[in-house]
Amino acid sequence: MKLGDKIRYIRKTIKKMKLNELHNRLVLIFGQKAISYKSLMRIEKNKRDGRLKSIHQIACGLDIDVKELLSGTERAFHQEKMLFADIMRKKSRAGRFTYNDKAFIEILSSPKSSFMGVELILESKGTTRMEEYSEGTEILLVTTKGKITAHIHDEVHTIATGDSLYFKGYLPHYFENLERTTARAIFIQNPKSF
């Protein structure tokens, strides 16, 4: 099966999503780094071979793993030939998701990974929105700078530089920075989803 045909099948048949809805979701997730509507359309019509970065975005937009998206396609063979390690350079990160002008995440993990690794950046008084993921999702948050207040279900935890926090991602949660300086944390979610 061709990759574009599989993308179209998943989008229309399984996710019941129009092409513009998928593109809007990519813009929401990746902002200005989202692939263009025209590129998405060309990839889906098999008129263009998508780069791994584009395929990663499409997989995220469809809420599936890259490996699952490529499975059974002509691209799966090429995917298996990749190196054992994958370096994600800062300048080529997959994208940024903005909660508001004081809170955002940058995607750190490789499109090939089964988990989602992001850097959470909270400016002073910044807060994320309330989120909850599907059953079975696990979250690990490691503060790398400052203090972050985590609201998980009906518990409140403050974690400082070097501290880590583990919780079940299906519980409602959000994070805030009550300090005067920027706070940063590495956020690892398994399995990955948006």
d(CA 32, CA 177): 25
* pLDDT for 174 beyond 90: yes
Out of 1.10.10.10, 3.40.640.10, 1.10.260.40, 3.90.1300.10, the CATH code matching 3-80 is 1.10.260.40
* Own/partner pairs, 31-37, CB within 8 angstroms, 24+ separation: 31/95, 31/96, 31/97, 31/98, 33/94, 33/95, 33/96, 34/95
Query: Considering the entire predicted model, what is its pTM?
Result: 0.61
| Domain parsing of the chain, residue ranges | 3-80, 90-190
Query: CB count, 10 Å around CB of 79?
Result: 17
pLDDT tens readout for residues 130-164: 999 888 899 999 999 999 999 999 999 999 999 99
Query: CB count, 10 Å around CB of 98?
Result: 13
Q: Is the CATH number 3.20.20.450 carried by domain 90-190?
A: no
* pLDDT for 107 beyond 60: yes
pLDDT tens readout for residues 19-67: 999 999 999 888 888 999 999 999 999 998 788 788 889 998 998 888 8
Place of tokens 């207040």: 149
